[in-house]
């Protein structure tokens, strides 16, 4: 099969022929149709310090995907050949304390598809049946199915706290931040503001119905509050950027008792005013991945019940390229100028 292969601990990928993966008794083999390019994949491609510490090379990367089941193991019970599917990329042990308590997203022995084991930047990928999500909704296109993983990040983060009637601040208008706009609106938020420094991404946010898109290279969040007619701070903060200045400014603009969900991984140390966190009685919650599998059910339910949300989430995909043009796809993703970049694997 064709695959984007990292042959060793160095920068770059190679589009080469690799052996097709074999299927174990509990596994499902999927013919990959589309894959999303994630920030993690950019780290792996460039082989930065994070990649050097976390990646087991040689490796086939890629963990955001959509495809068709072509083979199942002898012990597979529910997934069928021909099913159109996406996959939960975190493979858990099932026996640690959190797994046994039903908190699988907190498994201490998690192995990630495309990070510690071969992933989906290939014509075929194999994952355990328990990690397969079958799309019964035929309105889920291959492009939309490819971004269920990051859509799940947005849903998990945005639904960390009740949103009905609340004023929401989202920092970072990347693909996940953009999807969080649609989720927050679906969940009943009152006012939604989003920040970034990329004009194209802020324009995308406006097209998705955000109440205010703020260019923080020239405007402060406190000014945005006045523009929205807010007399107190934001009730809910969703930190999606990982930029070291985003969280401190968010904290400065929260209402007393405000709640913050943090998905963005910090790119540098963050200087936090812990006195304000205490005296304003703020709650900070770290978010990683998706709840297994409550988030997946919520994603499918929202898409099937809300045509506007379906349209907005689909619109986050701004570039679809053949897998053979993977270098152009990675360049587009790295530019930070658009939404989600998807590679099409059906041309081989």
Q: List residues with catalytic annotation.
A: 40, 43
Cα(247)–Cα(266) distance, integer angstroms: 9
The token pair that represents 216 in the structure block: 């923080």
**Residues for the chain: how many in total?**
348
Q: Where are the alpha helices (DSSP H) in the chain?
A: 39-46, 49-54, 97-100, 142-146, 148-158, 175-186, 199-207, 221-227, 246-252, 274-279, 294-305, 307-315, 326-335
Q: Can you say how many angstroms the Cα of residue 150 is from the centroid of all Cα atoms in its chain?
A: 2
Strand partners, 213: 194
The token pair that represents 121 in the structure block: 């930047």
**Beta-carbon-side half-sphere exposure of residue 242 (alpha carbons within 13 Å):** 11
Alpha-carbon dihedral of residues 8, 9, 11, 15, nearest 10 degrees? Answer: 20
């Amino acid at each position: 099969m064709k695959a984007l292969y990292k042959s060793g601990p160095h920068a770059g990928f190679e589009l080469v022929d690799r052996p097709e993966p074999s299927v174990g008794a509990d596994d499902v083999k999927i013919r990959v149709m589309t894959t999303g390019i994630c920030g993690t994949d950019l780290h792996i491609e460039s082989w930065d310090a994070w990649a050097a510490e976390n990646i087991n090379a040689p490796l086939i990367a890629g963990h955001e995907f959509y495809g068709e089941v072509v083979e199942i193991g002898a012990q597979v019970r529910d997934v069928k050949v021909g099913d159109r599917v996406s996959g939960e990329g975190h493979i858990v042990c099932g026996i640690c304390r959190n797994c046994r308590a039903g908190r699988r997203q907190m498994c201490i022995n998690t192995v990630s598809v495309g990070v510690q084991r071969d992933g989906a930047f290939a014509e075929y990928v194999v994952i355990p049946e328990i990690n397969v999500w079958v799309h019964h909704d035929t309105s889920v296109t291959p492009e939309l199915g490819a971004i269920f993983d990051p859509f799940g990040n947005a849903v998990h983060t945005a639904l960390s706290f009740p949103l009905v009637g609340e004023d929401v601040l989202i920092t970072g208008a990347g693909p996940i931040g953009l999807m969080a706009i649609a989720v927050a609106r679906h969940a009943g938020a009152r006012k939604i503001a989003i920040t970034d420094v990329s004009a194209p991404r802020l324009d995308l946010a406006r097209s998705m119905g955000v109440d205010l898109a703020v260019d923080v290279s020239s405007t402060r969040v406190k000014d945005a509050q006045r523009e929205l007619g807010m007399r107190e701070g934001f009730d809910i903060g969703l930190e999606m950027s990982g930029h070291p200045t985003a969280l401190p400014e968010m904290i400065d603009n929260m209402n007393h008792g405000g709640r913050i969900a943090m998905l963005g991984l910090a790119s540098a140390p963050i200087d936090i005013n812990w006195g304000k966190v205490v005296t304003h009685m703020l709650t900070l919650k770290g978010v990683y991945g998706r709840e297994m599998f409550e988030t997946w059910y919520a994603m499918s339910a929202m898409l099937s019940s809300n045509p506007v949300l379906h349209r907005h989430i689909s619109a986050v995909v701004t570039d679809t390229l053949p897998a053979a043009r993977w270098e152009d796809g990675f360049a587009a993703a790295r530019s930070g100028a658009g939404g989600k970049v998807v590679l099409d694997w059906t041309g081989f």
